[in-house]
């Protein structure tokens, strides 16, 4: 019997170049490979467009516009939920006789308005925790206030998950949270990602440290500024890479000749940087799920230094050096600059990363949704 699944994505899942959208794209790829016929529903924004690359993976793709305007901001619903209110989407979901997988709490407006017998939610974060963290990291008073109120709204709205038949958590840490609140319907499904490991042993390994992140996100800006302070008086070269520029980060970097900002608009350019950097340093000030850029770095980069919040309860602790203070990071960097990344290091990574095999996760989803 043909397995048909509807997926409601919070954004167009291509190219897979940031956070949760990486999980969405590689999930679609893995499910399609296993014979699932996918009807993809996704939202267009001013920064996204229809993608031909998705057509080979999906039976059909539906695109919707996000709402905007004052009513969207002042609604009692979270902005990221209310802005995805679309009548055409609800009609299409109802008319297609197939289970529905909502990608993220912010894609569940149809579930809020209706009851679907076969509905599942992939939780990409504990959303109110995530937005509270953004509020704490944000310096702009207007954005800080918005993030704070969004967190309060998301905490109330989370009860919509009671209407779902299943909740697919993205990390062991979040599984503990959702299973405590929603019982056995919460099931851990490891994050989906690319699995092609770069040939690091033949890379043009250079003696520089790399940090990469979306510099539109408050936590990433805070991390970049922290690493600038950490490395500014050292002898280490630090490259901060991102797909966009940030004025505050740029102004700080200009004061230090050993630190540079590099724009990387494509995945290929980022992969080259990851492959050539001797050390990748990743820090976060928010403990939220598993960071996709951590997995990406482990597949594409050499030595990795992380802080505790980046790595705790991910199952990847043995693959990274953990350092939380500036002095600890500098000391770990010094040690790793004197170590080659070996074939044994790479084999150990592949062994640990096997538990994150997307094919196994896709099979688990198929068994859960189509078991009857």
pLDDT in tens, 230-264: 999 999 999 999 867 778 899 999 999 999 999 88
Residue 171's pLDDT is 85
Contact 361, 192 (CB under 8 A): yes
The upper half-sphere exposure of residue 343, i.e. CA atoms within 13 Å in the direction of its Cβ, equals 1
Give yes or no: residues 297 and 210 share one domain.
yes
Name the pTM for this structure.
0.82
Adjacent-strand bridge partners of 281: 305
Give yes or no: residues 231 and 141 share one domain.
no
Supply 370's token pair: 């189509």
Residue 204's pLDDT is 60
Supply 42's token pair: 């996704």
* CA 169 to each of CA 34, 87, 179, 181: distance values in angstroms, whole numbers, following the listed order: 21, 28, 9, 12
Give yes or no: residues 167 and 77 share one domain.
yes
- Looking at every residue in the chain, the average pLDDT score rounds to 89
Supply 31's token pair: 């499910």
Instruction: Report which of residues 208 and 312 the model is more confident about.
Output: 208
Contact 170, 104 (CB under 8 A): no
DSSP result, 134-188: HHHH--SHHHHHHHHHHHHHHHHHGGGGGG-SEEEESSHHHHHHHHHHHGGGEEE
Give yes or no: residues 178 and 268 share one domain.
no
pLDDT in tens, 58-75: 999 999 998 877 677 778
Q: How buried is residue 140: exposed, middle or buried, by Cβ count under 10 Å (0-12/13-18/19+)?
A: exposed
- Cα–Cα distance measured from residue 368 to residue 202, given in angstroms and rounded to the nearest whole number: 42
Supply 60's token pair: 């059909």
Range of the domain at 124: 4-193+357-369
Instruction: Report which of residues 121 and 193 the model is more confident about.
Output: 121
Locate all alpha helices (DSSP H) within 41-86, ordered by sequence. Answer: 70-74, 79-82
Give yes or no: residues 346 and 226 share one domain.
yes
Nearest to 105, CA basis, from 26, 188, 169: 169
Give yes or no: residues 214 and 131 share one domain.
no
State the residue for tokens 């990406």.
Answer: 296
DSSP, res 69: S
Q: Residue 371 — pLDDT band, cuts 50, 70, 90?
A: confident
CATH number of the domain where residue 112 is located: 3.40.50.2000
**Number of Cβ within a 10 Å radius of residue 133:** 23
DSSP, res 106: G
Give yes or no: residues 362 and 342 share one domain.
no
DSSP, res 206: E
Residue 48's pLDDT is 67
- Cα–Cα distance measured from residue 86 to residue 74, given in angstroms and rounded to the nearest whole number: 17
Give yes or no: residues 364 and 342 share one domain.
no
Give yes or no: residues 345 and 207 share one domain.
yes
Nearest to 147, CA basis, from 130, 123, 160, 159: 130
- Cα–Cα distance measured from residue 222 to residue 328, given in angstroms and rounded to the nearest whole number: 18
Residue 161's pLDDT is 97
Pick the range with the lowest mean pLDDT from 6-15, 96-105, 129-138, 241-250. Answer: 241-250
Q: How buried is residue 56: exposed, middle or buried, by Cβ count under 10 Å (0-12/13-18/19+)?
A: exposed
Contact 4, 39 (CB under 8 A): yes
Give yes or no: residues 153 and 222 share one domain.
no
Give yes or no: residues 206 and 263 share one domain.
yes
DSSP result, 254-315: TT-TTEEEEE--SHHHHHHHHHHEEEEEE--S---S--HHHHHHHHH-SEEEE-HHHHTTSS
Number of domains in the chain: 2
The pLDDT of 100-107, averaged and rounded, is 96
Give yes or no: residues 363 and 307 share one domain.
no
Q: Residue 193 — pLDDT band, cuts 50, 70, 90?
A: confident
Q: What whole-number percentage of the chain has pLDDT above 90?
A: 59
């Amino acid at each position: 019997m043909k397995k048909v699944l509807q997926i409601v994505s919070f954004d167009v899942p291509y190219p897979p170049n940031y956070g949760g959208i990486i999980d969405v794209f590689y999930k679609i790829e893995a499910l399609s490979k296993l014979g699932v016929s996918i009807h993809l529903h996704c939202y267009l924004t001013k920064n996204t467009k229809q993608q031909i690359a998705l057509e080979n993976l999906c039976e059909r793709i539906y695109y919707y516009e996000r709402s905007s305007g004052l009513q969207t901001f002042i609604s009692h619903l979270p902005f990221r939920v209310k802005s995805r209110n679309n009548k055409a989407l609800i009609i299409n979901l109802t008319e297609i006789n197939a289970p529905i997988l909502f990608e993220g709490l912010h894609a569940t407006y149809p579930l809020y308005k209706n009851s679907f017998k076969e509905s599942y939610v992939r939780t990409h974060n504990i959303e109110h925790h995530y937005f509270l963290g953004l509020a704490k990291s944000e310096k702009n008073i207007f954005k800080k206030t918005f993030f704070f109120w969004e967190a309060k709204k998301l905490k109330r709205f989370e009860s919509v998950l009671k209407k779902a038949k299943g909740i697919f958590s993205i990390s062991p840490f979040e599984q503990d949270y959702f299973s405590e609140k929603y019982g056995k319907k919460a099931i851990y499904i490891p994050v989906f990602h690319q699995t092609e490991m770069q040939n690091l042993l033949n890379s043009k390994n250079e003696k520089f440290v790399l940090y990469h992140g979306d510099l539109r996100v408050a936590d990433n800006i805070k991390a970049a500024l922290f690493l600038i302070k950490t490395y500014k008086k050292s002898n280490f070269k630090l490259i901060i890479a991102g797909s966009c520029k940030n004025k505050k980060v740029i102004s700080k970097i200009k004061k230090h000749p050993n630190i540079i900002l590099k724009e990387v608009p494509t995945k290929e350019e980022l992969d080259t940087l990851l492959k050539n950097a001797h050390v990748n340093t990743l820090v976060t000030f928010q403990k939220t799920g598993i960071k996709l850029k951590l997995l990406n770095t482990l597949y594409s980069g050499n030595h990795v230094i992380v802080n505790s919040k980046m790595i705790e309860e991910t199952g990847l602790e043995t693959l990274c050096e953990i350092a939380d203070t500036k002095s600890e990071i500098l000391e770990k960097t010094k040690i790793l600059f004197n170590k080659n990344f070996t074939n044994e290091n790479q084999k150990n990574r592949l062994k640990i990363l096997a538990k994150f095999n997307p094919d196994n996760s896709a099979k688990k989803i198929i068994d859960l949704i189509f078991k009857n």
